Amino acid sequence: MHYTYVLKSTNDGNLYVGCTSNMDDRFKNHQEGRVFATKNRRPLVLIYYEACLDKVKAFKREKYFKTGFGRRFLKDRI
């Protein structure tokens, strides 16, 4: 399984969208400041995730969430 996920920074309120095959390890890396993009935006809260059967679909979903339509979808969903 591959996961597309959305994190929200409690520091600045912004969202971070990513994908991974190991959700627990990836979230731990975000929380410990090992991910450059979110290092200065901690603490982070996992607010949404989706499971996909393959890596390609997870990456496509991540790209969609980063578009205007995807952001609107997340806003309505969360």
CB crowding 47-67: b at 16 or more within 10 Å, else e: ebeeebeeeeebeebbeebee
Specify the pLDDT at position 5. 97
Specify the pLDDT at position 14. 93
Q: Which domains does the chain possess?
A: 2-77 (3.40.1440.10)
Question: Coil, helix or strand for 55?
Answer: helix
Specify the pLDDT at position 77. 85
Contact of 15 with 57, CB cutoff 8 Å: no
Per-residue pLDDT of the chain (78 residues; tens, 9 = 90+): 999 999 999 999 999 999 999 999 999 999 999 999 999 999 999 999 999 999 999 999 999 999 999 999 998 988
